Amino acid sequence: PAQAGPMVNKDSVNPGSQISMKGTPLSLMGTPIIVGKPLPPAVLTDAKKMKGVDLSMEKGSVLFLSIVPSLDTAVCDAQTHYLGEEGDRLPPSIRRITISRDTPFAQNRFAKEAKLEDIRYLSDYKEGEFGRSAGLLIDDLRLLARTVILVDKQGIVRYIQVVPELTNLPDMEAAFEQAILLDKEN
21-50 confidence digits (pLDDT tens): 999 999 999 999 999 999 999 999 999 999
- The amino acid that residue 100 corresponds to is S
For residue 2, the model assigns a pLDDT of 46
CA atoms within 13 A on the CB side of 21: 14
For residue 6, the model assigns a pLDDT of 83
| Proportion of the chain in helix, strand, coil states, percent, rounded to 5 | 25, 30, 45
The beta-carbon contacts of 86-89 under 8 Å, at least 24 apart in sequence, are: 86/172, 86/176, 87/119, 87/176, 88/118, 89/176
151-186 b/e with 16+ CB inside 10 Å = b?
Answer: bbbebebbbbbbbbbbbbbbbbeebbebbeebbeee
For residue 123, the model assigns a pLDDT of 98
| Measured CA distances, 7 to 18, 35, 150 (Å) | 19, 25, 22
**Cβ atoms of residues 36 and 68 within 8 Å:** no
For residue 186, the model assigns a pLDDT of 66
For residue 4, the model assigns a pLDDT of 62
* Active site (catalytic) residues: 76
* Positions in the chain short of pLDDT 50: 1-3
For residue 90, the model assigns a pLDDT of 95
The Cα 24–Cα 22 span in angstroms is: 6
**Cβ atoms of residues 176 and 55 within 8 Å:** no
